[in-house]
Amino acid sequence: MQPRQRLLGGRQIYFGVDDSGRANIFRRSSQCACPESQRKSRRRRLGDPLDFMFAGGPIESRLPILLRTAKLASSVPPPGGGGFRNSHRQMNDVSSAPSESLTEFFPEDLLHVVRENQPLRETLWLGIGGPARFLAEPVEIDQIEKLYTAAREKQLALRVLGQGSNVLVREAGFDGLVIKLSAPATSGLEIQGQKLIAGAGAKLTHAVIKTVGEGLGGLEHLVGIPGSIGAAVVGNVSAEGRDIGSVVESIEIIDEEGKRKTLTGEEAGFAHRQSTLMGTVVLSVTFNLEPKDVSALTKRMQKLWIHRGQRRPSESNRIAMPFIDPDSISACELINSTGLAGIREGDVSLDSAAPHYLIAHENATSDQCVKLIGRVREQVLMQTGIDLQLNLQIW
């Protein structure tokens, strides 16, 4: 158990479990009862029991200190600022018991995969936004089914989060349930003959690399495009004149009743940069690929990877591609032709060299992002008559 740090009377103290398995308080040890040769290596491991000195007695005898510490800690705002009701309960409850809010919305067998008032910005490419009221990280597919059912019964808004490359969250946060697909059960990649079975949470580029290494063609033109398999299929991502839907054989989803269902590629309704899967929870996708020469596939993949890497802004990692390329012209060319490259709104801008990228500078806000996107869409529509559609999902 990683000790939880708090300040008490100017000293750092920690909640943790001692060697007997009982919850206790620890404080930073000024001395280490070990040879000098061992001190430095042990000090590097924060949370090692040998780095702390027991502050005295079982937890029952330290109740006054615990109460004062909890009171002090409750004055500290949660990560991300703001939040929803019961936001401090889970953080400061020494017993780590589920909050009333969690038990109100989710059955007991899901409480260990759901957390309350969790920051999202660390998982998003833009690094902007407030917390999710509930964040779930299921490790089994059946848990996703149960989460979907619970959200529907309690009328909770539901979103699925993959790699976070095309998501913008408002500073107020998302008042609902976010399911993050990061566990092996939802991000695996398996080759069966000339088919790839990919979890919805798997990275698109990882799928490309695996299939190229197996001598299977059909996805290599998508290398370097950020995002997860699920998001790529829902948005029918395309490059080099070919979309991902053209090699999709089937998609496993959660249907409206909360049950698993398999759709064919035809039933997904793939069209230019869209499908009928929007709002659907995708679990996995099966691709039907074509055997090809590994060396030829590798050379093509590397060439495209280098080309896309050179076009990506180098000054910041906090980027996103807010617009979908129209049929006849790329968003980059369209924005350049209207003189909007490098346009700025507060601490948000379009890259001057690759204006199809939005850059979130330090202190950028979601409002600034939305305003900039609106300005660009308005000017492009006025000058060209083309209504740029959003690739960025705004929660």
Full DSSP string of 310-368: HHS-SS-S-EE--BPPPSSS-HHHHHHHTT-TT-EETTEEE-SSSTTSEEE-TT--HHH
Report pLDDT for 312: 85
Would you say residue 228 has pLDDT above 60? yes
Report pLDDT for 309: 83
Would you say residue 211 has pLDDT above 70? yes
pLDDT tens digits, residue range 2-52?
A: 444 444 344 444 444 444 444 444 444 444 444 444 443 333 333 333 332
Residue 280 — pLDDT band, cuts 50, 70, 90?
Answer: very high
Would you say residue 293 has pLDDT above 60? yes
Provide CATH 3.30.43.10 ranges for the chain.
Answer: 89-180
Would you say residue 135 has pLDDT above 70? yes
Give start and end residues of each alpha helix (H) in 75-140.
Answer: 89-92, 100-105
- CA pair distance 37, 33, nearest whole angstrom: 12
Report pLDDT for 363: 95
Residue 185 — pLDDT band, cuts 50, 70, 90?
Answer: very high
pLDDT tens digits, residue range 318-374?
A: 999 999 999 888 999 999 999 999 999 999 999 999 999 999 999 999 999 999 999
Report pLDDT for 85: 39
Q: What is the pTM of this model?
A: 0.73
Long-range contacts from 30-37, C-beta under 8 angstroms, 24+ separation: none
Provide CATH 3.30.465.10 ranges for the chain.
Answer: 188-296
Q: Considering only residues 99 and 22, tell me which one the structure prediction assigns the higher pLDDT.
A: 99
Percent of the chain with pLDDT over 70: 75
Report pLDDT for 327: 85
Q: Considering only residues 33 and 194, tell me which one the structure prediction assigns the higher pLDDT.
A: 194
Report pLDDT for 313: 87
- The rounded Cα 117 to chain-centroid distance in angstroms is 15
Q: Kindly state the tokens that stand for 342.
A: 């490098």
Would you say residue 100 has pLDDT above 80? no
The helix/strand count (H/E) of the chain reads as 11, 23
Task: Select the CATH number that applies to the domain covering 89-180 from these four: 3.30.43.10, 3.40.1710.10, 3.40.190.10, 3.40.640.10.
Answer: 3.30.43.10
Report pLDDT for 315: 72
- Least confident range of 46-50, 147-151, 248-252, 376-380: 46-50
In this prediction, residues 363-392 reach a mean pLDDT of: 96
- CA pair distance 221, 241, nearest whole angstrom: 9
In this prediction, residues 72-95 reach a mean pLDDT of: 41
Report pLDDT for 317: 83
Q: Considering only residues 62 and 132, tell me which one the structure prediction assigns the higher pLDDT.
A: 132
In this prediction, residues 151-178 reach a mean pLDDT of: 96
User: What are the residues whose beta carbons fall under 8 Å from the beta carbon of 196, sequence distance 6 or more?
Assistant: 189, 190, 207, 210, 211, 216, 219, 286, 287, 289
H or E element, residue 234: helix 229-234
Beta bridge partners of 195: 192, 288
Report pLDDT for 236: 96
Report pLDDT for 96: 52
CATH topology of domain 315-394: 3.90.78
Neighbouring CB atoms inside 10 A of 154's CB total 13
Beta bridge partners of 281: 254
- Catalytic option among 89, 273, 300, 311: 273
Residue 79 — pLDDT band, cuts 50, 70, 90?
Answer: very low
Residue 172 — pLDDT band, cuts 50, 70, 90?
Answer: very high
Q: Kindly state the tokens that stand for 284.
A: 């996995």
Provide CATH 3.90.78.10 ranges for the chain.
Answer: 315-394
Architecture of domain 188-296: 2-Layer Sandwich (3.30)
- CA pair distance 71, 74, nearest whole angstrom: 5
Would you say residue 56 has pLDDT above 50? no
User: What are the residues whose beta carbons fall under 8 Å from the beta carbon of 185, sequence distance 6 or more?
Assistant: 138, 139, 140, 141, 199
Instruction: Tell me whether residue 273 is one of the annotated catalytic residues.
Output: yes
Residue 97 — pLDDT band, cuts 50, 70, 90?
Answer: low
